Amino acid sequence: MKLMPYWLDTAPRFTGGQTDAPAGSVDVAVVGAGFTGLSAAIALAKKGASVAVFEAATVASAASGRNGGMCNNGFAQDYCALAGRLGRERANMLYRAFDAGVCKVESLIAEEGIDCDFKRVGKLKLAAKPEHYDKLARSQALMEKECDPDTHMLTRAELRSEIGSDRYFGGLVLRKSAGMHVGRYGHGLAVAAARRGVRIHENTPVTGLERQGGSAHRVDTPRGSLHARQVLLATGTSAVGPLGWIRRRIVPVGAFIIVTEPLPVEVLDRLTPRRRMTTDTKNFVNYFRVTPDNRLLFGGRARFAASNPASDEKSGAILQRSLVELFPELRDTRIDYCWGGMVDMTSDRLPRAGERDGLFYSMGYSGHGTHMSTYMGAIMAEVLDGRADLNPWRDFDWPAIPGHFGKPWFLPIVGAYYRFQDWVR
């Protein structure tokens, strides 16, 4: 079993990065070479801007390359509750932004000729309890009326056409959702950016940002410095660099994934005949999908803990038990990959993007980053060009989380609370 992401192990290695030290000046410096940073860099380069991207590790090797490869439209939280809190008009505007994220991924793949197995197979959200089904049904009825007619409910009896298990009590289908190979997607974005003249500096963490008269910035790295007219922070949960203000507002939560050996098609046809991107309604969520080479990817929260090799392996064992509970016929199936990553969660599980003290930022995707990061990268290119009105999160405040200064010391407490919630609700 490899303790590394399947996506990164089965994707080409990007070789178009800069070997020279950062120097000189550019129009825009982008901090972070995940989907947000690379999407923004491509959009800015199309506008004629000179762009340098700085990545502490390698292209798409953090959250962008460590997720489930799901481009799921719709909200992570309950639509009815969000519409009640924000108002239907605002909730619908945000819902359409999530839809636009999936469309942006699809169009960018086509424009840049990226081979990453993008397919609109839809998402299935499974009700873990009878009352969860009722809640999903209420949301679906309102969504169908307000913002998404491409949804429908499945009763428990109808689930047999979707999943080879009797464990759930019905589900919600969102037909616009898609899946892809995120490793090959990240590689393709980097190649496309470099082809357009973007300078990508891998293994080059930003260690300092200093505003120097007007709107100019000096960007410091261990390898050298350059000057940029504008700076976009696309760092997510990064623990590297001068990002204290952001770290007080994002909680890095571990998410863990295992991937099986390749499975016979007839087995997959029994377990997930429609090959949906599938998730459930628990706080300790489980999700699964089929990879392009017929493996079953199975992920979830498993534990409220940080990701590191020991933690990943412990979480992988929990996930394997959950997998076998759901699909007993996989009891003797070999697990080939196990890894973890950090999800950048905000307190309300909605992204944040904007400008503070002359620095632009977009992050906090809270588990929907695969497509929203791509979308927001392109949007932030417009914001940097003076179109702040296009930012769907422009009017959202972003207060610091009380007692949080970067290290999520409270995760075990949160985990215990959510386990209790899954038990009683």
User: For 368-395, how does the pLDDT look when each residue is reduced to its tens digit (9 = 90+)?
Assistant: 899 999 999 999 999 999 999 999 999 9
Q: Give the C-alpha separation, 345 to 253, whole Å.
A: 7
Please state the φ and ψ torsions of residue 307, each to the nearest 5 degrees: -95, 125
Nearest-angstrom CA–CA distance, 188 and 185: 5
Place of tokens 């407490």: 413
Measure the CA–CA gap between 173 and 121, rounded to whole angstroms: 10
Angle between helices 35-46 and 88-112 (to 10 degrees): 70
Which pLDDT belongs to residue 76? 78
Tell me the DSSP string of 175-240: TT-EE--HHHHHHHHHHHHHHTT-EEETT----EEEE-STT-EEEEETTEEEEEEEEEE--TT--S
Q: How far apart are CA 208 and CA 222, in angstroms?
A: 10
Dmax (CA) for the chain in angstroms is 66
pLDDT digits (tens, 9 = 90+) for 222-261: 999 999 999 999 998 888 888 889 999 998 888 899 999 9
DSSP 258-277: EEESP--HHHHHHH-TT--E
Domains and CATH numbers, the chain: 6-414 (3.50.50.60)
Q: Which two tokens stand for residue 280?
A: 């459930």
Beta pairing partners, 226: 219
Which pLDDT score is estimated for 424? 60
Residue 381: per-residue pLDDT = 98
Going 414 to 416 to 418 to 424, the CA torsion angle's sign is: negative
pLDDT per residue as tens, the chain (425 positions): 999 999 999 999 999 999 999 999 999 999 999 999 999 999 999 999 999 999 999 999 999 999 999 999 988 789 999 999 999 999 999 999 999 999 999 999 999 999 999 999 999 999 999 999 999 999 999 999 999 999 999 999 999 999 999 999 999 999 999 999 999 999 999 999 999 999 999 999 999 999 987 769 999 999 999 999 999 999 988 888 888 899 999 988 888 999 999 999 999 999 999 999 999 998 788 999 999 999 999 999 777 677 888 989 999 999 999 999 999 999 999 999 999 988 898 989 999 999 999 999 999 999 889 999 999 999 999 999 999 999 999 999 999 998 887 777 766 666 665 565 666 66
- Beta strands 178-179 and 70-71: pairing type? antiparallel
CA distance 21 to 34: 21
Q: Produce one character per residue of 381-392: b if its CB has 16 or more CB atoms within 10 Å, e if not.
A: bbbbeeeeeebb
User: What is the residue type of 94?
Assistant: L
State pTM to two decimals.
Answer: 0.95
φ, ψ (nearest 5 deg) of residue 308: -155, 170
- Residue 70's nearest CA partner among 150, 172, 177, 152 is 177
